[in-house]
Amino acid sequence: MYTLRYPDEKVGDPFDVLKSALGVDVPADLKRKLSFLYFAYCERKGVGCNMIAARKFRLEYGSKLRAAYKTTYTNKPLSWLRKELRSVAGNRCPSCGGARPVTLDHHLAQNPFPEFAIFPLNLVAMCGTCNQRKSATTGKAIETSFIHPYLDEVPEVPFFTATVIRDDGTYTVCFEFTPDAIPDAELSNRMSMQLKKVDFNEALLPEVGELLAEWALRIEDEIVIPNEGEIDQWVIKDYLNRNATRIEKQHRVGFWQAIMSRALADDAQFCSGGFRDLLPRSPS
C-alpha cells in the first residue's frame, strides 16, 4: 500500500476530460453543480461518509456520467486517460503492492456516486483481485474507507513484519501489518481494515513464491558456485541484506520485498543451505 503521484499536468482540467467524454461542451448547469461536488471531493479526500448527498443531481445526470466513463475503454476517445493512470501505478497495485494494476477502479463507486464516474481524481489503477474485493466499498464510516492513493499520504516506513515458514521441505513468507509503525491512528486503522479486506497475504502469494525461487537460484549461481560449492551463511546473509537495500532504492523504504529479503537474511536455516530446497530439481 502506497501513495501515487496524481498526473495533474498530463490529465489537465477535469472538465476538458468530461467534454471529450460527452463529445459536446459541458452544459453550464452541469458544470456549475459538478464544480461544487469536485471541490468537496478534494476537500474531503474522497471519503464517502463525508460527501454531500446529491440525490437530485444523481437522478438527473447519473446515467449520462456513467455512460461517459465508457469512453475510457480501448479505442475510445479517452483510452489515453486509462493508459496514463495505469502508467502512474507502474507494475505495482497501490492497494496490495504485488500484482500488476491492470484495471481502473472508481475510488468512490459509480453507484451510488455517479457524479465522480468520469472524474479523473476518482479513477485509480488497481489489480483485478483488489478491485474485486474492494467492490463497491465507499466507506459508510471513516474506519471502513479505503485509502485514497492520490490524496492520502502513506508514510514510507516499514509497516510490515515478515515471518519465514519452512514446511514439508519448502519455504513461504507471511506478512503482518504493524499498526504502531503508522503515527496517525486513524490512517493506521484504515490501512489495517483494507489489508484484511483485500487479503494481502493471499494477493502476494504467487509473487512471494516466484521471488523465493529466483533468489535461491541467484544465491546458488552468484555465491555458492563461484565459492567452489561451499555455503557461507554470513555471505548469503549479507547478500540478502544488500538485496533489501537495493529494493528500497528502486521502490521505497518499507516495501514488502525488502522486508521479505531481510527476514530471509535473519533465517539461519535458509542461509545455511535451506534455500536449496527451492532450487529446480533435476529430472530423475
Domain boundaries, the chain: 8-144, 160-278
* Half-sphere exposure at residue 121, Cβ-oriented, CA atoms within 13 angstroms: 22
Question: Cα separation of 54 and 65, whole Å?
Answer: 14
| Amino acid symbol at 282 | S
Distance (Å, whole) CA 155 – CA 120: 24
pLDDT at residue 136, as a whole number: 65
Beta strands in 84-205 (DSSP E): 103-106, 123-126, 160-167, 170-177
Q: What is the number of H-type helices and E-type strands within the chain?
A: 11, 4
- The dihedral of CA 251, 254, 257, 262: what is its sign? positive
Predicted confidence at residue 90, as pLDDT, reads: 87
- Please check whether residue 36 is in contact with residue 44, taking contact to mean a CB–CB distance below 8 angstroms: no
C-alpha triplet 239, 247, 107: angle, nearest 5°: 155
**Look-up of cell digits 486509462:** 82
pLDDT at position 137, please? 65
* pLDDT computed for residue 138 by the predictor: 61
Please give the pLDDT value at position 52.
83
Please tell me the distance from the alpha carbon of residue 200 to that of residue 185, in angstroms, as a whole number: 20
100: exposed, middle or buried (C-beta count within 10 Å: 0-12, 13-18, 19+)?
middle
Q: What is the pLDDT of residue 282?
A: 63
What is the C-alpha separation between 194 and 131, in angstroms, rounded? Answer: 12
Q: Residue 219's beta-bridge partner residues?
A: none
d(CA 146, CA 161): 22
Listed in sequence order, the DSSP H helices in 23-176 are 28-43, 55-69, 79-89, 128-134
- Which residues, other chains included, contact 50 with Cβ-Cβ below 8 Å and sequence gap of 6+? 44, 142
Bridge-based pairing of strands 160-167 and 123-126 is unpaired
Kindly state the cell numbers that stand for 232: 557461507
The contacts of residue 207 (CB under 8 Å, 6+ apart) are: 98, 99
- Taking alpha carbons only, the member of 170, 179, 146, 162 closest to residue 247 is 162
Distances (CA, A) of 124 to 27, 84, 121: 26, 10, 8
Grid cell digits, residue 23: 463529445
Q: Would you give per-residue pLDDT tens digits along the chain (284 residues)?
A: 899 999 999 999 999 999 999 999 999 999 999 999 999 999 999 998 888 878 899 999 999 999 999 999 999 999 999 999 999 998 889 998 888 899 999 999 998 899 999 999 999 999 998 998 887 666 678 888 999 999 999 999 999 999 999 998 889 999 999 999 999 999 999 999 999 999 999 989 999 999 999 999 999 999 999 999 999 999 999 999 999 999 999 988 989 999 999 999 999 999 999 999 999 886 55
Task: For residue 144, give the nearest of 187, 182, 190 by alpha carbon.
Answer: 190
